[in-house]
Structure 1
């Protein structure tokens, strides 16, 4: 966990929610009131965000006592109690929604990711996330993918060169784009992997002739075309399938022999896992 990044996220999230005070709690509950609450699972799935929840409680009030009963990555069912928290009632109520928002979102992503990972068992294909994340929540969402058994692709625009179709078209073709990327890395004294997206077998043939990349993304290929592409690459480069891949067809894509499958759906349209924090 990147503590500095997480604490900045928590600070921003609390500022957004609390503003100049939790006036409901301030007006209805005496300041010194102590209480207890438990986090209850209301939907079966894979748990994620426990470690983050601990940091949220700690930032809101270091005096809060949190007992973790179930760890990140565990399979949970309706009625399971993940953690208990005790201390200042005002602090618990301030932390409540942020803890739930994060854990519900992260657990939904981890649950979906593990579903896909299970469908790929028996193959040599791994599942990748994408940059199709919620602005400001990318670190958390990619963290949840890892908890669910997936693999993070690049974190942002800064840690890999990924030449996509628009880059190729703006650069004036595949050869221009690859050569320009190689020259840029040399000029900037940077060591970044280069991946290039291809839209058909003709573009793939060009990349194979030029070389100089680390990974090839095979975008929106049909199954027959994908099998042919993997055969053409012949393990000379890492292969990644992308586009139109769902939980229903992911195993069939993996059977074509690609090294990775990337799915934006892991993060951009996942359903949060239902849970609640209740006083007791």
Structure 2
């Protein structure tokens, strides 16, 4: 086994990058951590004298481990109760300041990545988010560089057709979310309708542990009836705290003072077009402390 301090130093230097690669591939911080553990074990057995580019080699190991785990996760998601959402991460302020990184790990983008095949997802993430060369990607996914170029082109077209039309500034996103927050706390249907896009979609994830809509709720009026009516029937007090999840403005919702879930949003043209509400308590363990992400 390789016990040279250089191996440990290299792994730690690229750890945030490797975690981000694994998380963008899997949508689960817990699984990403498991992948990093496997990457570490394999890295310790590598002869560093044969490694020209340590970063590329580590990314290759991480990608292969992520692909293996992604195929297992797909089977697990098929048995999941209700819609599946990525595990929200409380991210450091520098993530929100990096527009490219914040978009790549946003809830909206992570859900778009879910529509790709495992290999398409790996190629897209490595190429578009991390600017990895085609030859390096080919080595990571066991394809030829020519095949990787075709996969990248196909995946890019698929994602472009589904991603937000424009990336809004953090200031605009915060202002829109703040308007939604006050309207929700006030239980004011009209103010909610003013901030929601007519075709807004709510996706809620309770994982069979917490109550949640088993299918996405589409349309502003239907969504307002669902939210305001549900709060009224339950006779509870809802409060919200602004936070930053996956590099983007979000809310922590509390019901009668107890944390109920995390709500991320997709904002376009100063209106909310997507709401992603994670209630599954198993996915809320990473909102107590900041996680550092990196593209380089």
Q: Name the TM-score, length of structure 2 as normaliser.
A: 0.27
Return the index of the structure with the highest Cα Rg: 1
In terms of fraction of residues, the more helix-rich structure is 2
